């Protein structure tokens, strides 16, 4: 594993292609090209708040490139401090930031059904049959009442950061806790979509750096 992640000139390259793209469509974005980069002290605050070390590639991106901005599919979520607490914001909605829960490893799609049966039983609700089609959402509503939808949503993203807004309800996730730490997952917008690994042309799973740089290189080729 590399001990240093090189983001040299990435910020400048992204700004250049975004300015070219905006000039061509003649429609300035309502968002800045990048959120400000974070200081080492701010990154330390983030890690202390959530009790976890961020993957090195993402930590150095926050420090050297920015805490949000253009990215694969549409844009990266923005890591911001809101009322004294850090969270990941998308669509500029600071009322509903994503708050990382690092208390358990991210649950892969193929393991989700077994994990949720255990969670529901621990909450006093015993599902009699496997319910993979709707992701046990009805079970959560029965076990947790009015909070069921929120608990289900938070459980599904535990151990991961909502890292990108891909448009039309589709999202990207960076795994922070578990055996697949540093990898990314893509999720569609259906009720029970799987979390699919992002892979390169050779089928290798992306980390944050390879995922972001692949997107940037594709954007540069498109502009040329």
137, part of any domain: no
Percentage of the chain beyond pLDDT 90 is 62
**Averaged pLDDT for residues 180-205:** 90
127, part of any domain: no
Kindly report the CATH number assigned to the domain that includes residue 30: 3.40.1580.10
φ, ψ (nearest 5 deg) of residue 192: -130, 60
For residue 28, the model assigns a pLDDT of: 63
**Averaged pLDDT for residues 99-109:** 93
143, part of any domain: no
Question: Is the predicted pLDDT of residue 1 greater than 50, yes or no?
Answer: no
54, part of any domain: yes
163, part of any domain: yes
Q: Tell me which H or E stretch contains 142.
A: helix 137-144
At 67-78, the pLDDT tens digits run 999 999 889 999
Least confident stretch, 17-31, 58-72, 105-119: 17-31
- Plot region of 175 (φ>0 → left; ψ -120 to 50 → alpha; else → beta): beta
100, part of any domain: yes
Q: Which domain holds residue 184?
A: 10-106+157-223
Q: Which carries the bigger pLDDT value, residue 168 or residue 50? A: 50
What confidence tier does 190 reach under pLDDT thresholds 50, 70, 90? low
Sheet with 184-187, side-by-side order of all strands: 75-76, 160-167, 170-175, 184-187, 195-197
81, part of any domain: yes
For residue 29, the model assigns a pLDDT of: 62
At 91-100, the pLDDT tens digits run 889 999 999 9
If one counts the domains in the chain, the total is 1
119, part of any domain: no
């Amino acid at each position: 594993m590399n001990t240093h992640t090189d983001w040299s000139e990435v910020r400048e390259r992204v700004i250049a292609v975004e300015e070219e793209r905006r000039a061509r469509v003649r429609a300035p974005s309502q968002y800045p090209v990048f959120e400000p980069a974070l200081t080492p002290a701010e990154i330390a605050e983030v890690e202390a708040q959530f009790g976890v070390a961020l993957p090195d590639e993402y930590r150095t991106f926050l420090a050297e490139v920015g805490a949000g901005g253009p990215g694969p599919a549409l844009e990266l979520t923005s890591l911001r401090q809101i009322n004294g607490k850090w969270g990941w914001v998308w669509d500029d909605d600071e009322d509903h930031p994503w708050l990382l829960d690092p208390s358990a490893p991210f649950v892969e799609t193929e393991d989700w059904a077994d994990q949720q049966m255990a969670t529901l039983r621990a909450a006093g609700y015993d599902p009699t049959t496997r319910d993979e089609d709707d992701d046990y959402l009805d079970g959560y509503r029965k076990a947790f009442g009015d909070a069921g939808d929120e608990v289900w949503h938070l459980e599904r993203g535990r151990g991961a950061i909502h890292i990108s807004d891909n448009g039309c309800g589709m999202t990207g996730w960076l795994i922070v806790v578990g055996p697949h730490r540093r990898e990314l997952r893509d999720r569609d917008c259906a009720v029970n979509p799987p979390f699919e690994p992002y892979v390169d042309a050779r089928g290798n799973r992306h980390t944050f750096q390879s995922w972001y740089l692949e997107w940037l290189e594709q954007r540069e080729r498109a502009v040329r």
